[in-house]
Structure 1
Amino acid sequence: MQLTFHKRAVGFSQLLKLNYLTTKPLSLIQQCIDTQSILDLKKIQTHITKSGFTLTLRDKLVDAYLKCGSISDGRKLFDEMPERHIVTWNSMIARYISGKNIKEAIGLYRMMIFEGLFPNEYTFSSIFKAFSELGCLREGQRAHGLSVVLGVEASNVFVGSALVDMYSKFGQMRDAKLVADQVVEKDVVLFTALIVGYSQQRAAWEALAVFVSMINEGVKANEYTFASILIACGNSEDLGNGRLIHGLIIKSGFESAVASQTSLLTMYSKCGLIDDSLKVFKQFVNPNRVTWTSLIAGLVQNGREEVALTKFRQMICNAINPNSFTLSSVLRACASLAMLEEGKQIHAIVTKYGLDKDKYSGAALIDLYGKCGNTEMAKLVFDDLTEVDVVSVNSMIYSYAQNGFGAEALELFTRMKDLRLHPNEITFLSVLLACNNAGFVDEGCQIFASMKSCHDIELTRDHYACMVNLLGRAGRLEEAEILINQVENPDVVLWRTLLSACRIHGEVKIVERIKNKVLELAAGDEGTHVLLSNLFASTGKWNQVIEIKTAMREMKLKKDPAMTWVDVDREVHTFMAGNCSHPRLQEIFETLDDLIQKVKILGYVPDTRFVLQDLDEVRKERSLYYHSEKLAIAFAVWKTSNQTSSIRIFKNLRVCGDCHNWIKLVSKVVKREIISRDAKRFHHFKDGLCSCGDYW
């Protein structure tokens, strides 16, 4: 009778009864692997145990268990074997690593050394990966040393590639490069590992040099090589080389490869070419979660938040589940647009996917609520995080800063020591902003001094600008000017910050002294010209105003109109000063007149100092009545007259002093909180008072 290996022709038990295991054991084991039958493997193991077969056969049986996906049965048999071949050790270690059971792999490696068995090149190529995955640099270095002692040369491409990958993941690029140089015949895996390492360390030129060397040596790049080098180009905003590599991708036939296409999309968005990113995205047939997330993040980074939200909705409709990075990007889009209701819906999705305690989503939620003026919710999210890091603390401090809670921001800043967190440049910028908005001049000066002496923090122009603003608003204008002169080549932002402070205090002498210097730095900057014009107008120097405005006309510079928008019943309404185009204009004017009469009873007197035009007093008063924030609030009061919820308005410029006083009294008249976000910060008006304490 002719036997066949197919189980349906001759039963497995029949083969065993025919002593087929005695004559063709390896074939029978292979049959089990082909059919993925763990039960039949166990039957073979039982016969082997009874018959006392060789260790080699046991090794093959362990390998069969691993290939059938039963690592537990393989390990059990492995532990029962009095002796194991090096191949079996390597198979077990490799299987643990591929199954993400890294600790077990390292445990087996240690057991191998303890039992006096020397690892070979296959052992080392696996175990180096395990050490990098678990973050065990010291053990990885010791294993490297052992490989040298045992004569397992790093020049071997498998060992060399694994070592380069390990050192690259630890950021030890000098060691990675030294190992790579020892490998005689480098392959694409080694080159790619080196490029990935340099890209992660933001060493773009080094990554490009490796890529060029690889091409020169005739090694063909794969899609992961292209993906990695594109990341390097994106990080350095190197559009020229990015486009060249795009051409190579097309030439090499990887235009439809997901990894390289996703990196290509990201590279274009980081270089500011978001439309090119969208074109690349359209070429995807079935974009995965990483691709969707990369696109959404790029849109948010390039100020295309509304498009990002549209793409997110499409992603959900396509049944692609978002991760914490996707959701954090979408939340930042909502924060930038101050879309509180939409942000709350995203918060619900975050909770649905169990990511509400994730540090990335958490930081984005804190940022959302802070930028929408809801510090209470921001703090609830912060307190509920299981892992607090510098990013989430920075988000919370910034939330406090924007909303004028200076004391709370300083308290959290002090708590960072207890949390074993080291403040970074963003932390100090946020806490200085908090001191700015709360008027904590002495505290801000102390923190700034500590940055220069006690902390390993590089002072940026933003830090100096914050301090200039803090000193300037406190009336310490000369100190602010001295501080600017300490900066090497101060830019227009610093001088413009000082000009803003001069306007607050009506200081013209300093302005006359620095005006020409500022205009030289910002010859075509409309913001600086507008600021100078407003400053001279507020002090009644109309000749200088005419001079500035004439120069603006010659340079074709235009002032951004003051705009305020309000969200009522999930519909955004936008208002501009003196604009008469709203369809409900009559109701708005009637409500506005009613509010003006009521606040006048409470003591409101129009402050015509904030009218920056040469008009008579009556016309100045009338122009104040039709500021954009007054129109927006009047509309919201009329539209929601039967509600007691807060009114939220958003303005693109700084709120003027007259409107600030008017809104305080309106909050008392309508008995509702009015939350206003201007270009600088939030104001919470309630019962005739403002959270800023009239310091803004």
Structure 2
Amino acid sequence: MIVGLAKLLNFFVSVNITVVHTTTLPYYRRFVVGISQSSIEASQNDICLAEVSRVYSSLILRCIEKKSLAESRLVHARIIKVGILNVKVGNKLNYAYMKCGSIVDARKLFDELPKRHIISWNSMISFHVGRRKCKDAILLCTRMVSEGVMPDEYTLSSVFKAFSELGLVHGGMGAHGMAVVLGLEVSDAFVGSALVDMYAKFGIMKNAQLVADRVMSKDVVLFTALIVGYTQHGDGIEALKVFVNMINRGIKANEYTFASILITCGNLEDLRVGKLTHGLLIKSGLESVVTSQTSLLTMYARCSLVDDSLKVFKDISHPNQVTWTSLIAGLVQNGREEVALSKFKEMIRSSILPNSFTLSSVLQACSRLAMLEGGKQIHAMVMKFELNKDRYAGAALVDLYGKCGGTEMARSVFDSLVEFDVVSMNSMIYVYAQNGSGHEAIKLFNEMKELGVEPNEVTVLSVLLACNNAGLVEEGCHMFASFRNNPKYELTRDHYACMVNLLGRCGRLEEAEVLIREVREPDVVLWRTLLSACRIHGEVEMAERALSRVRDLAPDDDATHVLMSNLYASIGNWNQVIEMKSTMREIKLKKIPAMSWVEIDKEVHTFMAGDWSHPRSNEILETLEYLFEKVTSLGYVPDTRFVLQNLDEESKRRSLYYHSEKLATAFALWTTRNRGTSIRIFKNLRVCGDCHSWIKLVSNVVGREIIARDAKRFHHFKEGSCSCGDYW
């Protein structure tokens, strides 16, 4: 078939492309393709089909370089019109469609090809897998075999990935069988690595290891796939064994190997191996690779070496989104919330956009610091980046508002989620638990089961905590019995501690002690929880038994000694108080000082009992005097039982006046006196019983809601009452 040059030039004009003709016909490969239209003197010679194909091939290459879908379609249309759609030209055009990302055009052209080489099949199958069209990729492979084209190592590696992405274990095993029949499993490391990766993603590490052991040619890809599999499934010890085997074989690790091993060291908190891996990383020359650096700083953060993590980050010239997120998450995990928020601001100033994981970590920092206003700003960013439907960001927002006492706002965010999972459900149940809304927590737990969301051990703990904080003793006992008798749930010491607290606080101390003895190896927390209940009810004998158990397990546990000292003080046994304090001095234990704080206009103000160092101390004192006068007229009498010092009665009353909760409340009310909004105060320990009674009356005097979060829960004071029902 001969096509005239005039016909060819007509095409070039139609696509607005100029071709400069050389003087010698065989050198068409030197054609220069431009983007402006011009005229050409046509040769009277006919151009053979092969030369026309070359010209069109050059045009296709131009489309590939530009990734222009529109021009690819124009070239395709002209190829059809001039009738030169053969296998070679078709494959190139198909590749152009793939580079342009059009799976529809690529598939349509593929089906039109008169003949398909295995390279064409492999390209299409791989392209479909890359576009997450894994089911179509598998169907293509099936069709390929039915047309008599046998798969090779490239076909199978794509098919293994397709089955793993779909989670089709049996199908993947069937494809594995085909690899065995074709003799590719043991002879080809490419196939072996893909198989190991597939079984690792299925979570069948036994099969992954068996394949790795049988493969004759082992390379870094195969070993890395095995290491990643063990790491992702929580078996860090096996991952390290594979890594050692790989190094002993003289196979050099790549950046992905190092990244996975460093993550494993972080998960195991194995600093020794982590530092050795860091040394190998430097020796390999891969320390400056962002992937390696990100994993390195994550490893140090998980091993609690935050400063080392920051040092690694400082050496990264161009940190990306993942690196910033890893650093911020590590800081939050190590209690460095202020630094995490500072780094987040740097990230935004560096024009790096956050993702849902970044914002979740920042929201967690705000919730721990009880920074409601800062959290609201992050909430606005969540909305701006359209991440409000994301389950991680959603759960973090629920947690933020819950930890700031905003139960209604937390529920509003929760209800706006597109789908509910166990994480978001647990977050909302825990919010209800913290705020004493036990019945609401139980109701949501029942709805959770109706929605088909399977509860886990965290759910169980949150529901028990909700019953605990709301004083729902019988409901809690019923829930605990149903969980304990259900083999789906594996109850831990934390679940038992929650029940010991529930029973102990309501005075059922004997039952609580019996429950502890049911636990195989009771820990310090269980015995300390019982001791705390004894402190409430003045049960000295049982408390001393609990103290003895704690001393056997952890003789330097400061919280237990403080509790026992407070118990002796509450019953006036000052000789024992002196003895306990002497013991604490001997073992160098210190009592954590009580402090309260408030956030006003994005600034945090901290108070300690009797501390008048605040610049507004005069206004605080005036406000306190006014409030004491008002609440006394309503029947307030200082409860000196909560003074744990050997003082005369008048001194005890005076000491109660200047507790940190009262100072924080007075300052917040004075500062926001013209706003009429709710105020929020926070305390690092449990709220004092006298302060609890005082704040209830203050809420009635000022006609405002006062929300107080202590170390255990929230108290919502309003119109003279508290949400806890005086049960805390």
TM-score in terms of structure 1 length: 0.95
> What's the counterpart of residue 640 of structure 2?
608
The verdict on how the C-alpha distance between 1:621 and 1:265 changes in structure 2, with shifts beyond 3 A counting, is same
Structure 1 residue matching 2:32: 3-state secondary structure? coil
Q: Measure, in 2, the Cα distance between the counterparts of 1:609 and 1:182.
A: 74
2:611 is the counterpart of 1:587 = no
1:36-47 matches, within 5 Å, as 36=63, 39=71, 43=75, 46=78
Structure 2 residue matching 1:106: 3-state secondary structure? helix
- Shifted more, 7-16 versus 131-140: the winner is 7-16
* Greater than 6 Å deviation, 4+ residue runs: 9-17
2:315 is the counterpart of 1:291 = no
Q: Would the aligned equivalents of 1:199 and 1:207 in 2 still touch at CA under 8 Å?
A: yes
The verdict on how the C-alpha distance between 1:374 and 1:12 changes in structure 2, with shifts beyond 3 A counting, is farther
What is the deviation of 1:9?
Answer: 7.7
> What's the counterpart of residue 124 of structure 1?
156
What is the deviation of 1:52?
Answer: 6.3
> What's the counterpart of residue 5 of structure 1?
29
2:522 is the counterpart of 1:522 = no
2:48 is the counterpart of 1:35 = no
> What's the counterpart of residue 689 of structure 1?
721
2:209 is the counterpart of 1:185 = no
Q: Measure, in 1, the Cα distance between the counterparts of 2:122 and 2:489.
A: 47
The verdict on how the C-alpha distance between 1:650 and 1:66 changes in structure 2, with shifts beyond 3 A counting, is closer
Structure 2 residue matching 1:565: 3-state secondary structure? strand
> What's the counterpart of residue 391 of structure 1?
423
> What's the counterpart of residue 490 of structure 1?
522
Q: Would the aligned equivalents of 2:493 and 2:526 in 1 still touch at CA under 8 Å?
A: yes
What is the deviation of 1:153?
Answer: 3.2
> What's the counterpart of residue 293 of structure 2?
261
What letter matches 1:75 in structure 2? R
Q: Measure, in 2, the Cα distance between the counterparts of 1:264 and 1:666.
A: 52
Q: Would the aligned equivalents of 2:179 and 2:185 in 1 still touch at CA under 8 Å?
A: yes
The verdict on how the C-alpha distance between 1:372 and 1:69 changes in structure 2, with shifts beyond 3 A counting, is closer
Q: Measure, in 1, the Cα distance between the counterparts of 2:39 and 2:194.
A: 42
The verdict on how the C-alpha distance between 1:604 and 1:143 changes in structure 2, with shifts beyond 3 A counting, is same
Q: Measure, in 1, the Cα distance between the counterparts of 2:626 and 2:93.
A: 90
The verdict on how the C-alpha distance between 1:424 and 1:571 changes in structure 2, with shifts beyond 3 A counting, is same
| Match 1:300 to one of 313, 332, 336 | 332
Q: Would the aligned equivalents of 2:680 and 2:706 in 1 still touch at CA under 8 Å?
A: yes
What letter matches 1:497 in structure 2? T
2:255 is the counterpart of 1:228 = no
Q: Measure, in 2, the Cα distance between the counterparts of 1:333 and 1:21.
A: 72
What is the deviation of 1:694?
Answer: 0.5
What is the deviation of 1:49?
Answer: 6.6
Q: Would the aligned equivalents of 2:436 and 2:469 in 1 still touch at CA under 8 Å?
A: yes
Q: Measure, in 2, the Cα distance between the counterparts of 1:279 and 1:565.
A: 32
Q: Measure, in 1, the Cα distance between the counterparts of 2:135 and 2:510.
A: 62
- Shifted more, 511-520 versus 413-422: the winner is 511-520
> What's the counterpart of residue 554 of structure 1?
586
Q: Measure, in 2, the Cα distance between the counterparts of 1:156 and 1:312.
A: 46
Superimposed CA distance per residue, residues 610-657 of structure 1 (whole angstroms, 9 cap, x where no aligned partner): 111111111111111111111111111222222210111001111111
What is the deviation of 1:440?
Answer: 1.1
The verdict on how the C-alpha distance between 1:382 and 1:494 changes in structure 2, with shifts beyond 3 A counting, is same
Structure 2 residue matching 1:648: 3-state secondary structure? strand
Residue correspondences, number? 696
What letter matches 2:470 in structure 1? A
What letter matches 2:29 in structure 1? F
2:291 is the counterpart of 1:248 = no
What is the deviation of 1:576?
Answer: 0.7
- Shifted more, 306-315 versus 39-48: the winner is 39-48
Q: Measure, in 1, the Cα distance between the counterparts of 2:692 and 2:254.
A: 61
Q: Measure, in 2, the Cα distance between the counterparts of 1:193 and 1:12.
A: 57
| Match 1:420 to one of 442, 452, 456 | 452
The verdict on how the C-alpha distance between 1:680 and 1:41 changes in structure 2, with shifts beyond 3 A counting, is closer
Superimposed CA distance per residue, residues 336-373 of structure 1 (whole angstroms, 9 cap, x where no aligned partner): 11110000000000010111111000000011011000
Structure 2 alignment gaps of length 5 or more:
1-22
Structure 1 residue matching 2:717: 3-state secondary structure? strand
| Match 2:360 to one of 325, 328, 348 | 328
Q: Would the aligned equivalents of 1:41 and 1:61 in 2 still touch at CA under 8 Å?
A: no
What is the deviation of 1:24?
Answer: 4.1
Superimposed CA distance per residue, residues 205-257 of structure 1 (whole angstroms, 9 cap, x where no aligned partner): 11111111111222211111110111111111111111100000000000100
What is the deviation of 1:285?
Answer: 0.6
2:595 is the counterpart of 1:563 = yes
What letter matches 1:618 in structure 2? E
Q: Would the aligned equivalents of 2:33 and 2:59 in 1 still touch at CA under 8 Å?
A: no
Q: Would the aligned equivalents of 1:63 and 1:88 in 2 still touch at CA under 8 Å?
A: no
Q: Would the aligned equivalents of 2:374 and 2:602 in 1 still touch at CA under 8 Å?
A: no
What letter matches 1:650 in structure 2? F
Structure 1 alignment gaps of length 5 or more:
none
2:679 is the counterpart of 1:647 = yes
1:164-179 matches, within 5 Å, as 164-179=196-211
Q: Would the aligned equivalents of 1:155 and 1:182 in 2 still touch at CA under 8 Å?
A: no
Quick one: percent identity of the two aligned structures?
65
What is the deviation of 1:562?
Answer: 1.1
Q: Would the aligned equivalents of 2:60 and 2:75 in 1 still touch at CA under 8 Å?
A: no
Q: Measure, in 2, the Cα distance between the counterparts of 1:557 and 1:9.
A: 82
The verdict on how the C-alpha distance between 1:60 and 1:518 changes in structure 2, with shifts beyond 3 A counting, is closer
Q: Would the aligned equivalents of 2:97 and 2:105 in 1 still touch at CA under 8 Å?
A: yes
Q: Would the aligned equivalents of 2:60 and 2:72 in 1 still touch at CA under 8 Å?
A: no
> What's the counterpart of residue 310 of structure 2?
278
What is the deviation of 1:512?
Answer: 3.3
The verdict on how the C-alpha distance between 1:41 and 1:446 changes in structure 2, with shifts beyond 3 A counting, is closer
Q: Would the aligned equivalents of 1:29 and 1:41 in 2 still touch at CA under 8 Å?
A: no
What letter matches 1:567 in structure 2? E
What is the deviation of 1:21?
Answer: 5.3
The verdict on how the C-alpha distance between 1:182 and 1:15 changes in structure 2, with shifts beyond 3 A counting, is farther
Structure 2 residue matching 1:381: 3-state secondary structure? helix
What is the deviation of 1:42?
Answer: 5.5
What letter matches 2:544 in structure 1? E
The verdict on how the C-alpha distance between 1:521 and 1:14 changes in structure 2, with shifts beyond 3 A counting, is farther
What letter matches 1:8 in structure 2? V
Q: Measure, in 2, the Cα distance between the counterparts of 1:305 and 1:332.
A: 8
> What's the counterpart of residue 109 of structure 2?
77
2:264 is the counterpart of 1:237 = no
Superimposed CA distance per residue, residues 4-28 of structure 1 (whole angstroms, 9 cap, x where no aligned partner): 4244389999999855552446644
The verdict on how the C-alpha distance between 1:203 and 1:621 changes in structure 2, with shifts beyond 3 A counting, is same
What is the deviation of 1:80?
Answer: 1.5
Q: Would the aligned equivalents of 1:566 and 1:649 in 2 still touch at CA under 8 Å?
A: yes
Q: Measure, in 2, the Cα distance between the counterparts of 1:84 and 1:498.
A: 76
- Shifted more, 483-492 versus 425-434: the winner is 483-492
Q: Measure, in 1, the Cα distance between the counterparts of 2:565 and 2:107.
A: 80
